[in-house]
Amino acid sequence: MICAGTDFIFETVDQTQLEKFERCIEEIGGRVRSVKAVGNWPMGPNRSFKVLRAIASVPRPGGEELVTYWAKKGGNQTRYSEINT
């Protein structure tokens, strides 16, 4: 997960992880604004998985502390960034 501006971007090949991310965002009062397939991640010969990207926002006011923390401490690329360029 990365923080881009005031949004959180989460990428995964696992639908279950995406659902957990959505529940966590909703728990803090935010919402997932969009989910889309952004590429394929190779997983051996003749096999790949779709990379799903969720973009979420957290409530304002109230979410500034989380956004600030993640922007400072988090990375600026996801595990799957190399296939999304």
47 vs 59: CA distance, rounded Å: 39
Give the whole-angstrom CA distance, residue 46 versus residue 6: 38
pLDDT, one tens digit per residue, over 8-64 is 899 998 899 999 999 999 988 899 999 999 888 888 888 888 889 999 998 877 778
What the chain holds in terms of domains, given with CATH numbers, is: 2-75 (3.30.70)
Which residues have CB under 8 Å from 61's CB, separation 6+? none
Give tens-digit pLDDT for 24-34.
Answer: 999 888 999 99
**pTM > 0.85: yes or no:** no
Label residue 6 by pLDDT band (50, 70, 90): confident
- For residues 6 and 60, what is the distance between their CA atoms, to the nearest angstrom? 10
